[in-house]
Amino acid sequence: MTVTAEAHLAAGQRILASARFRQILSVAVEHMREPPVDTAHDEAHLQRVISAALEIGISEGADLEVLLAAAALHDVINVPKNHPDRALASRQAAEAARPILESAGYTEDEVVLVAQAILEHSFSAGHAPSSLESAILQDADRLDSIGAIGVARTAATAARMGSSFYCADDFSGAARELDDRLYMADHFYRKLLLLADRMNTGTARAMAAQRGQFLKAYLEQLETELPKFQIETSLS
Ligand SMILES: [Fe+2]
């Protein structure tokens, strides 16, 4: 680790231990503990996203105060994946973050930058990042959607929505429209397999490469495990 990276790491650790960061994190965690608990968006997700944001932020030389605050509050409003307002979740989280940040003592400039990063981080909302901190938060959140943890979170979300794991008649959607509300595997084809190549920063691209390979291997393995014989289960 270079001297600069070491200094960034020390700064990051100071921020994580600061009273104002602890305050906003405790508010975020309280929100996530409210029932119904969503395993794909629980406090362990927050821990992973904050940690990845710190790792990428150190390497890319980001403003860690803004980045870590945005990571802590990025899912402070969680809208279920199959809810019509899903694309508005990041806007709602950005708005909800403002008073939380203000009461913890973040400056007006910091509040604006943190809210902007939260607004722009979402995949569903389709915003382009306008700052390095937005770009890194987007990368850190996307990293948690791929690799082994991505598989687990996708299965948890599929179970929550009552989706099937796959379409037995057309696994990869060659002759039908992909629908990730009906089939978990479709979510890999529609979104997850694309993410590794869509990281904003070089650091995240390097972190994502192996996770992307794992997703492809998982999907190939899943397809080999489909039933070899057609078993009729429709009720007559
Ligand atoms: Fe998230």
Query: Ligand 1 mean position to 208 CA, how many Å?
Result: 16
pLDDT score, position 106: 98
Q: How far is the CA of 220 from the centre of ligand 1 (A)?
A: 26
CA of 174 to the centre of ligand 1 (A): 30
CATH topology of domain 3-125: Hypothetical protein af1432 (1.10.3210)
Q: What is the model's pLDDT at position 6?
A: 87
Calculate how far, in angstroms, residue 118's C-alpha sits from the geometric centre of ligand 1: 10
For residue 71, the CA-to-ligand 1 centroid distance in Å is: 8
CATH of domain 147-224: 1.20.58.1910
| Ligand 1 center–CA 31 separation, angstroms | 13
Q: What is the distance in A from the centroid of ligand 1 to the CA of 167?
A: 27
> Which of 109, 108, 184, 113 minimizes the C-alpha distance to 145?
184
Separation between Cα atoms, residue 99 and residue 56, nearest integer Å: 27
User: What is the pLDDT, as a whole number, of residue 124?
Assistant: 67
Task: Tell me, in angstroms, the distance from the centre of ligand 1 to residue 46's CA.
Answer: 7
**Which pLDDT belongs to residue 95?**
95
Give the number of other CB atoms < 10 A from CB of residue 13. 12
State residue 52's pLDDT score.
Answer: 98
pLDDT at residue 233 in the model: 87
- Tens of each residue's pLDDT in the chain, 236 residues: 677 888 888 999 999 999 999 999 999 999 999 988 899 999 999 999 999 999 999 999 999 999 999 999 999 987 766 667 767 888 999 999 999 999 999 999 999 999 999 999 986 667 789 999 999 999 999 999 999 999 999 999 999 999 999 999 999 999 999 999 999 999 999 999 999 999 999 999 999 999 999 999 999 999 999 999 988 888 76
Q: How far is the CA of 229 from the centre of ligand 1 (A)?
A: 39
b or e along 208-222 (b: 16 or more beta carbons within 10 Å of the residue's beta carbon)?
beebbebbeebbeeb
Give the 3-state secondary structure percentages of the chain, helix then strand then coil, rounded to 5. 65, 0, 30
- CA of 74 from ligand 1 middle (Å) equals 6
Look at residue 80 in the predicted model and tell me its pLDDT: 67
CA of 204 to the centre of ligand 1 (A): 16
98: exposed, middle or buried (C-beta count within 10 Å: 0-12, 13-18, 19+)? middle
Locate the domains of the chain by residue range.
3-125, 147-224
